Structure 1
């Protein structure tokens, strides 16, 4: 593990803080989920077969597949018994539970 001075660390950290009232571009235009869903059919009709060809080449992978590709192990496989596990709850010591499969939201 590499260590850096506190000033260097803070300098690297504040690069990711946006100025006051600055809006990220991903919240506008077609990148927002609502707008993409609304305009998707129009885009498909306009682009025709080109979009179909692109969509057929993209494969959506699950979190487990992505984790296995990156880390080389299955995050839902028990290290003690070697069997599959099911994710039912994620929690943080300070912030509490932020995912619960059985909670009614």
Structure 2
């Protein structure tokens, strides 16, 4: 079995896609950008590698790849899975009806 070369956080460079990192997530949180039309979610996390170097990572999710079955239709309020209402055919979650589903 071939071993994968791990790049330490201190050697990472912007816009490189070939790097592999081995880290622990020290802290993670998300925030919404409420002023936008489509509520973008920004994910922030603090990463720590084996040499105890830390790295602040910020990422924004602009769209989801929904071509594969890795996700479910989620209520945007509580991210619980939504199901079709037999009478209307609309996706609903009982506690929060009339919501537009979000991939989760």
TM-score bin (small chain)? under 0.3
- After TM superposition, the score normalised by the length of structure 1 is 0.19
**More RCO (CA 8 Å, sep 6+):** 2
| Structure with greater Cα Rg | 1
Structure having the higher helix fraction is: 1
Q: What TM-score, normalized by structure 2, do the two folds share?
A: 0.19
